[in-house]
Structure 1
């Protein structure tokens, strides 16, 4: 005769609440071994304790219920392990992002003062360039930037043209205010670029800019923007216009993010006092 545990006893043994056990039954994740047709009471066997413990461990690791179901339903140990490892990899990536955010916040609290050192005023001349312009989501900006730069350089090489200056980007206000807006990535070049794919010839207009250099990957670039904005507010005459960035050292140049450099340009009106 099979020995059963009531749902209360099973709850105490597994540290899963009765409410949770009922929910797992409803979605088919952990069905009781027996349900009384008259009272609806759920009963479990001792063999189900280990399954419940596995489910609980996975939930502690924030594995979605549908993924847990897929793991439990997979008879192939290799496939099962691959699913578990994939979730652990996602957790590791999330842990890395959390650690970076903690480090940035701790550094911000330790060094809250805005330091305008390193801001320079620069007049950029009008230049002919190869460019890609699209409306993008800010969340896709980093990947889109690298793809656009790769396409631009490949197109220049294919057409026998050479870059004549630093690659850069021009970003409409909506990129920052709505996290979606028009973005242009350009590479100045000598000669006439023929339209190909997304690449088009363009003229990058002259601009007077207050420029600060951000060193490293995109993490923490908001602090450079804040420093630059504070400088412009206090020491320069800001004017309407898109933000401009230049990429003197980037992913194409070195795989070490610590060596990357991004110049951020805020449009200003140069005066003698600034």
Structure 2
């Protein structure tokens, strides 16, 4: 048997952490001396502790690890295989995001070396005044928290495309997202996922056309705030005002693997400002 101190030293885990793991049911001592409360671990528990450390190093939460350890032997390998593949994809997505950030940071450093403002890119964002045609859209509308968006885009558009395929509907355009909330709220935003179609079925509605300030971006969605800021500035400076919710149209399918190549258009429905 190993004392808690010996077990701690071998596995590289503090005794405080080991006590917490016992508290949450992740790893209990094999024995506890009833007289003095000393905790002892068996040699066999070393493998379990190393397994916990391994999954922690892969950024699994303690809740996820505990659920994995509670699986029956005939399920554990299959579930572990699926979980590792899922986590690998998450990390690959994060790496892509870090690569983009590093590239952007390097470009900003080069700009500063040349005495150019790192915000000068805003001057190169083009805004057009366009007139859009009315369309019929099949949509799903619900409140979305900031944590829901990454997953929600794929899930909700997939549901719409599945229905289109099942009912043999005719797609007339690329996916779009309409943002109805008057302000950003991390806890929840009124969001509508939509696809233009030809037929009138349950769940469709008319989306009116009209005058819009429009801009576009090639790159990840994290850069869209710059487009929104530029459009809002343009609307104010040119004497227009917003009349409906802004919306985004995705000309390329969302894909973290090729985030730098994604093309997104942003539309601000406007009218000439009414002077009272």
Q: Report the equivalent of 1:180.
A: 189
Distance 2:171 2:85 in 1: 41
Does the CA-based 8 Å contact 1:71-1:84 persist in structure 2? yes
SS at match of 1:115: helix
Q: Report the equivalent of 2:130.
A: 122
Distance 1:75 1:147 in 2: 33
Distance 1:250 1:89, change over 3 A: same
Distance 1:237 1:210 in 2: 9
Range with greater deviation from structure 2 (142-151 or 42-51): 142-151
Equivalent residues in 2 for 1:212-231, closer than 5 Å: 212-215=215-218, 218-231=221-234
Say which one has the larger Rg: 1
Give how far 1:242 is off. 1.4
Which sections of structure 2, spanning at least 5 residues, go unmatched? 109-117
Give how far 1:52 is off. 2.5
- Please give the TM-score of this superposition, normalised by the length of structure 1: 0.71
Distance 1:22 1:104, change over 3 A: same
1:54 aligns with 2:59: no
**Residue-pair matches, total:** 252
Does the CA-based 8 Å contact 1:33-1:45 persist in structure 2? yes
Q: Report the equivalent of 1:36.
A: 33
SS at match of 1:174: coil
Give how far 1:211 is off. 0.9
Does the CA-based 8 Å contact 1:63-1:87 persist in structure 2? no
- Please give the TM-score of this superposition, normalised by the length of structure 2: 0.70
Distance 2:82 2:19 in 1: 28
Does the CA-based 8 Å contact 1:116-1:228 persist in structure 2? no
Equivalent residues in 2 for 1:198-217, closer than 5 Å: 198-200=203-205, 202=206, 204-215=207-218
SS at match of 1:220: helix
Give how far 1:19 is off. 1.7
Distance 1:221 1:55, change over 3 A: same
